[in-house]
A and B are shown apart, each in its own frame.
Chain A
Amino acid sequence: MKKKRVKLITGRTIEQGMFIEHKTSKEYFDATATCFMNERLIKELDIEDYVKVNTDIASIVLRAEREKGIPKDLIFIPMGPWANFILNIDIGLSGMPSFKGVDATIEPTDDRPLELKDLIGLYKG
């Protein structure tokens, strides 16, 4: 299986904001359980519809989406429960976890993203 090291950044998108008060909606799921990547990166790794993103703390499966303006060595995940599942405490001295510029690896997968309820269920174990 092909793997690639990338920098992960998370942040707001208008769709994520539009449905932020409706976290269990399909629209919020579509807006946030998604990984935006450069088209060349998708081709290089033979990613079809879904991508697995791994960090030092956890892995998550997301829908892969092409974005033209993003550099090839960068991936963008809208802020929310899916992005934050793979983020570690890494606060330095400021009390602020690193939500941007995080080291990650990505790989193709046939798995599907978890629904919100199932994702939150992982914290209970």
Chain B
Amino acid sequence: MIIKNVVCPFCGSLCDDLTVEVEGNEIKNVDNTCKLGYNKIVGYSHGRIEAPLIRDKEGLKEISYDKAIDEAAKILCNARRPLMYGWSSTTCEAIEKGIELAIKIGSLIDQTATVCHGPTTLGIQEEGKPSCTLGEVKNRADLVIYWGCNPFHAHPRHMGRYSTFTKGYFTNKGRKDRKIIVVDVRESDTSKVADIFLKIEPGSDYKIINALTSIIIGNGDILPEEIGGISKDRLEYIAGEMVNANFGIVFFGLGVTMTGVKDKNIGSLSRLVKELNRNTKFSLMPMRGHYNVSGAGNVFTWLTGFPYAIDLSRGYAYYNPGETTANDVLARKEVDAILVVASDPVAHFVNPSIRRLAEIPLIAIEPYTSATTELADLIIPVAISGIEADGTAYRMDEIPIRVKKFIDSKFKSDLEILTDIINRIDRYE
């Protein structure tokens, strides 16, 4: 059976034009996908955890699903300071259920933006985000800036589908109608296709963004001759390109959120784009990594008022990144149990946080053997959302798209497992 218009459940580009060939209940092939999506979809059956597992002194041993739900409910109910973490690779419906569970047990809840675009959230809360959809970029953008990101590796079809090589209504010559600028600390496959490559000094983003803003508002005379490894003349040229564009867009990645002054970089990028909008039309968009990390931020915000790092232990939602963010509460050894859903924090958190994860009861709802399952005390295998379970996901431009289920699974979905845990806790209460 050939299934068309399948949505790829890998990155925030959420490409919705895949063609999947299914025979019986097995995926045989995928077309129109990048290497990342291909490996995830075709490799869906490789290395799966086949049954719920619990750790004792001798290692992991199989238990029934019912017993696993029971153990999960007990761990969460007995914890004084639980944390629920992950959420970016599951559906909005499951995330909504996760918030319900967090409210019920008075948990901290955080999502993967905390080690990704968390500073973006802080920056845009201070300064706003003049933005647009990827459709507008495709049809209108004649100046595309990729700042601190490498879409060739992290979002391989982004340039082809939305920004660079594609033809749009006002950009019907495709690549010839667009100027591409890449800003990074090292050459990359993305910088090789750029018209202009600004190789900046590490950590100098804030200085360079503010220098461009100064030039654009007419205060360029106060700048030194070189900023962050780039000459003032070259920055004046870039500022001219920005002002003279018909429709410009800055896509930015973790090269901006993770370096130097982090959230302040994003605030200054937003101010730059706002100033550009006095002259022309310009937009700003984060390159979101996991396919539904944007959805996690949206669902968290509908239900609690805040997009990540939320403490629900007080009976109301309390949000203070730097205090309630996952790495902080772990490194301070506050957290005494953790539920991980659709994520691998042992692979992607920093050393002091992982040391705490090794000390406390860790429940992982996870389809594959991962770094987190190596430390987990209880593992509940799950259907893979976007392949074996359907639901809603948000693209990086915050457009909701329905991800499909195209094969059956013997495992329950994240949504069903979280529902079962809530029902079990209700029975105890």
By a beta-carbon cutoff of 8 Å, the part of chain A in contact with chain B is 7, 9, 11-14, 17-25, 57-58, 67-71, 74, 76, 79-81, 84-101, 116-117, 120, 123-124
Q: In the assembled complex, how far is the CB of residue A18 from the closest CB belonging to chain B, in whole angstroms?
A: 5
B375 touching A120 by the CB < 8 A rule?
Answer: yes
B202 touches A11 (CB 8 A): no
12 contacts between A and B (CB under 8 A): A14-B156, A17-B154, A23-B344, A88-B352, A89-B352, A91-B328, A94-B119, A100-B254, A100-B259, A116-B371, A120-B375, A123-B346
What separation, in Å, do the CA atoms of A100 and B265 have in the docked complex? 14
Residues of A within 8 A of B261 (CB): 92
Residues in B whose Cβ lies below 8 Å from that of A17: 10-11, 35-36, 153-154
Tell me if B413 counts as interface (CB < 8 A to partner A).
Answer: no
Question: A-B pairs with CB below 8 Å: how many?
Answer: 169
Chain B, residues 312-328, CB within 8 Å of chain A (1/0): the string is: 00000000011111111
Instruction: Check: B207 CB closer than 8 A to any chain A CB.
Output: no
Chain B residues in 8 Å Cβ range of A94 = 118-119, 122, 262-263, 321-322, 325
Contacts of A123 in B (CB 8 A): 346, 351, 354-355, 357-358, 375
Which residue of the partner chain, among A74, A97, A120, contacts B115 with CB atoms under 8 Å?
Answer: A97
Q: How far is the CB of A75 from chain B (nearest CB, A)?
A: 10
B-side contacts of A68, CB under 8 Å: 187
Q: How many Å from the CB of A120 to the closest CB on chain B?
A: 4
Contact in complex: B351, A87 (CB < 8 Å): yes
Interface centre among A17, A85, A98, A99 (most CB of B within 10 A): A17
Q: Is the CB of A69 within 8 A of B186?
A: yes
Flag the segment in B38-46, B241-249, B403-411 that touches A: B38-46
Q: How far is the CA of A61 from the CA of B263 in the complex (A)?
A: 32
A76 with B351: in contact, given A14-B35, A123-B357 (CB under 8 Å)?
Answer: no
Across the interface, B43 reaches (CB within 8 A) one of A9, A21, A70, namely A21
Q: Hey, which chain A residues are within 8 Å of B114, CB to CB?
A: 95-96
- In the complex the two chains form, what is the Cα distance from A95 to B353 in whole Å? 12
Q: Assess the A95–B118 pair: CB atoms within 8 A.
A: yes
**Complex contacts, B35 vs chain A, CB 8 Å:** 14, 17-18
A57 to B352, CA, bound (A): 9
- Complex alpha-carbon distance, A15 and B116, angstroms: 19
Q: A71-B185, A94-B322 are in contact. Are A81 and B371 (CB under 8 A)?
A: yes
Contact bitstring B344-384, A, C-beta under 8 A = 1, else 0? 10111111111101100000000111110011000000000
In the assembled complex, the CB of B191 is this many whole angstroms from the nearest CB of chain A, namely 7
Residues in chain A near residue B324, CB distance under 8 A: 95
Q: Are A12 and B150 in contact (CB under 8 A)?
A: yes
* Contact assessment for B352 and A22 in the assembled complex, using a CB-CB cutoff below 8 Å: no
- Contact among B40, B191, B258 with A98 in the assembled complex (CB-CB below 8 Å): B258
User: Cα distance A88–B261 when bound, in Å?
Assistant: 17
Closest to A22 in B: B47
Knowing that A89-B328, A96-B114 touch, tell me 5 more A-B residue pairs with CB under 8 angstroms.
A21-B367, A23-B344, A74-B185, A84-B348, A96-B262
For the complex, what is the distance from the CA of A74 to the CA of B321, rounded to whole Å?
29
B309 within 8 A of A: yes
Cross-chain contact B350 with A97 (CB below 8 angstroms): yes
Q: How far is the CA of A13 from the CA of B150 in the complex (A)?
A: 9
Given contacts A57-B352, A88-B352, A95-B321, contact A9 B185 (CB under 8 A): yes
Q: Are B358 and A14 neighbours in the complex by a CB distance under 8 Å?
A: no
Q: Is there a chain A Cβ closer than 8 Å to B60's Cβ?
A: no
Q: Would you call B213 an interface residue if the criterion is a C-beta within 8 Å of the partner chain's C-beta atoms? A: no
Partner of B347 from A80, A91, A96 at Cβ < 8 Å: A80
Q: In the assembly, what is the distance between CA of A39 and CA of B40, in Å?
A: 33
B154 touching A74, Cβ below 8 Å: no
A120 surroundings in chain B (CB, below 8 A): 346, 371, 374-375
Determine whether B228 belongs to the interface, using a CB cutoff of 8 Å to chain A.
no
B325-339, CB < 8 A from A: 325-328, 331
Q: Are B369 and A24 in contact (CB under 8 A)?
A: yes
A97/B327 in contact, CB under 8 A: yes
* C-alpha spacing A95/B190, complex, angstroms: 29
- A-B CB proximity, top 5 nearest: A69-B187, A95-B325, A95-B321, A87-B350, A12-B154
CB pair A23 B328 closer than 8 Å: no
Contact with A along B227-258 (1 / 0, CB 8 A): 00000000000000000000000000011011
